[in-house]
Amino acid sequence: MADSSFIRSRKHSARHTASPWLAMAAVAVSATAHAQTASTPAPAQPAQPAQSATLPTVEVKESAPAPYKAEGLSSPKFTQPLVDTPQTISVIKETVMQEQNATTLQEALRNTPGVTVLLGEGGNSNTKDNIFLRGFDATGSIFVDGVRDLGSPVRDTFNLEQIEVIKGASGSEYGRGTASGTVNLTTKVPTTVDAAEARISAGSADTKRATLDLNRALSDTSALRLNVMGQNSGVAGRDMVKNKGYGLAPSLAFGLGTPTRVFADLVHVRFNNRPDGGVPTVGLSGFYNAALANAGVTNIRAVDPSNYYGSASDYSKTKADQLTLRVEHDLSPDTTLRNVTRAGRSGIDQLITGTSGVVSDTVNSVVVPRLDPATWTATRSRQLRWQENTLITNQTNVTTKFATGSVKHALSAGVELIHEKQTTRGRAGAGTMSPADLYNPNVNDPITGRAVVDSGQVSQGKTNTVAVYAFDSLEFSPQWQLNAGVRVDRYRTTNDNVTAPDADGLQTRTHIKASDTLFSGKLGVVYKPATNGSVYASVSTSQLPPGGSNFTLSAAEGNINNPNMDPSKATNVELGTKWELMDKRLLVSGALFRTTVNNDLGTVDAVTGEVTQYGKKQVQGIELSAVGQITPAWNLSAGLARMTTKVKEGTSAQTGAGINWSPKLTFTAWSTYRFDNGLTVGGGARYVDSVVRSISNTAQAATTNMLSTPDYWVFDAYLGYQVSKNVDLQLNVYNLANKKYVASLNNNGGRYIPGPTRSVLLTANVKF
């Protein structure tokens, strides 16, 4: 039996070893000119003689809000409008998701640049949102209404009001996390306005989906809202893959429009999918096999991307349940006290078949090519996964506005109590399948040894956290603001592991624990040359302690998850500008950023046994965006990110190389135009540059599989028509050019998920 008391190591310190400007200046100059024009007073008119006749009634109407543009964030920790918040933030609103029929988080995140998706390994394929943001893993930094969302559920959009992507280190707002930033999902809440909306979709790949959003006022101050989803769909261009599930999200609100408001909601989601284990990369652009190349075989045919290499019995069952109670009380017109309590549980039970093409063999340590393609096969690895996550949290927050002399303050402060638990159980009995014909796999091939049972191996990680934070936005004058925040997290992580019984039925138990205090902060200076714009500079930090991303601690010396290791530390520096144009209907922004991560590696001296923690990675670039309305009829959401990455200090094979899973250039755009006759036309485009899967400082020559994915463009089209006041139709055509592309690649480059082929989806939207 091992205990953390047997882990011996020393604490240590880490070793220390202008075109973008033009683009931003152009945005600023244009915005300033627009602001000056808009703010120029009209010339005085001569006085008119008094009229005895009655003047006609003048009706003043506010312009409708821009459906793509958000004014601010849902979290009370962000006290200022987006235009005055000194950080790059993308908000994806419900209107955009509905127009695109983006039903999952991954699909919705296509609307912000700098995001890539990785295909998981070892049973992790298709089990969670493997999101990389600005070069770093963000899978552990997903939140729902400001509360960390753990595990691997299918994150459906049926109950979402908007998705907020905060880019760069965000430890002061959300606690432990990586350098990439955070993704916060904002759910729908009841209102006192009666409304009901049903959406029914059908299309390619046998897609069938229906949602209902029903809101009913129970009184002048209380309301009920119910969101429901049901889906049974395939995936365009992929045989056998199925996404089938349902969701229920009832919520109640009391005291609406009064000083004390209470919100209670429940979310219940179930999916029973047939997962996609991927397709061998054999024959793709960039695929290379040294044995075949040396034998002169260069014309390698790619496999059909629709092929399914798993079994018809593969499954992925996910569940998510959460109960939330939120109470708000206005102590005064300028001061509000909030308390949020949440209990949640999510889980996954999955059997998935991974694959990889086999076109050569190793005989006596020599790689021998298979010269006849008829002999080429695809391995089939049956992988099991069972995991459950539990969360109990309580947050108390107070926001207030006050003045100290001539300085105006917007203060937000609070405390968070968090209990997180992750349990992983080993599973056995997935059975085996013989290798498939590479070009003609059979999903009904026999499976031997099928009897899935618990193996007896159990790993349980727990993290308890107490955090306090405070933010203050200080306005010194109409032109100058200072935004500052700090957060202190005191955490304790324990990891208990029981191995599967050996041949004699014996099991080994280990108990490892770690605790520490994390400090994170942010500081931003905002200058407003006009009321509708800002120029800012900011710095923010975050920390990720051992076991902070997966609840797993390691007794191995030098392992980054050893409890004696220091947290990895990230710092994000940004210089940017934001402007509200077109009568404040359009928000344009641009930022230069640099993110640096330290302490992400460890090593043990072979002679002295001394542990050294080191490592430094850096991502820098520029991000531009425009979201809102160009005219009241023309909506636009667009973004571009260009970044360069570098391992400043790593292993001997990594130092000086770029960071994997980090495309240099990404672009996204979605736009619609509505005509007076009720017809709306639009579409979108996405570009993702080549993505490298490994980090190396040498000129690599692939010996097998793929080193990177080719870049690609994808174009979509949208057509909407309002049939009546209560009924409108929309037609989506995805991947207009039927582009074949790699949507995600696994770590060794042996398999990939193909991008969906051209498909159509017809949706009827009925309001009643």
Which pLDDT belongs to residue 184? 96
pLDDT value, residue 5: 34
- Buried residues in 657-670 as b, exposed as e (16+ CB within 10 A): bbbbbbbbbbbbbb
Q: Over the stretch 81-140, which tens digit does the pLDDT of each residue have?
A: 999 999 999 999 999 999 999 999 999 999 999 988 777 665 454 444 578 899 898 888
**Domain with 165 in it:** 89-444+468-509+524-767
Does any domain span residue 46? no
Q: Within a domain: residue 374?
A: yes
Per-position DSSP letters for 496-521, written without gaps between them? EEEPPP-TTS---EEEEEEEEEEEEE
The per-residue pLDDT for 530 is 97
Residue 302 lies inside a defined structural domain of this protein: yes
pTM attached to this predicted model: 0.89
> DSSP class of residue 82?
G
Domain presence at residue 661: yes
Nearest one of 377, 373, 374 to 358, comparing CA atoms: 377
pLDDT of residue 192: 97
Q: Return d(Cα 281, Cα 696) in angstroms, integer.
A: 21
Q: Sort 113 into a burial class: Cβ within 10 Å, 0-12 / 13-18 / 19+.
A: buried
411-to-461, 520, 612 alpha-carbon distances in Å: 35, 17, 41
Domain count of the fold of the chain: 1
Q: Which of 219, 317, 228 is nearest to 268 (CA)?
A: 228
- Kindly give, in sequence order, each residue whose CB lies less than 8 Å from that of residue 196, ignoring residues fewer than 6 positions away: 212, 213, 214, 215, 767, 768
> For residues 645 and 134, what is the distance between their CA atoms, to the nearest angstrom?
9
Q: Which residues of the chain have pLDDT under 70?
A: 1-64, 120-129, 699-703
Specify the DSSP class assigned to residue 6: G
Residue 701: the pLDDT is: 55
Residue 104: the pLDDT is: 94
Q: What are 345's two structure tokens?
A: 């549980």
**Residue 763 and residue 208: Cα distance in Å, rounded?**
10
CA–CA separation, 344 and 268 (whole Å): 10
Question: Tens digits of per-residue pLDDT, 158-188?
Answer: 999 999 999 999 999 999 988 889 999 999 9
Beta strands (DSSP E) in 650-758 are 665-674, 679-688, 691-692, 708-709, 712-722, 727-734, 742-745, 751-754
Residue 668, domain member (yes or no): yes
Position 398 scores a pLDDT of 98
Q: What is the pLDDT of residue 51?
A: 41
pLDDT at 747: 86
Which phi-psi region, left, alpha or beta, contains residue 372 (left: φ > 0; alpha: ψ -120 to 50)?
A: beta
Residue 59: inside a domain, yes or no?
no
**Residue 514 located in a structural domain:** no
CA dihedral 585→590→596→600, nearest 10 degrees, is: 50
Is 652 contained in some domain? yes
pLDDT one-digit tens code per residue, 379-436: 999 999 999 999 999 999 999 999 999 999 999 999 999 999 999 999 999 999 999 9
Phi, psi of 610, rounded to the nearest 5 degrees: -70, 135
Predicted local confidence at residue 665, as pLDDT: 97
Q: CATH number, domain at 715?
A: 2.40.170.20
Q: How many CA atoms lie within 13 A of 431 on its CB side?
A: 17
Torsion of CA 275, 280, 285, 290, to 10 degrees: 150
Instruction: Quote the distance between the C-alpha of residue 193 and its chain's center.
Output: 31
pLDDT of residue 550: 85
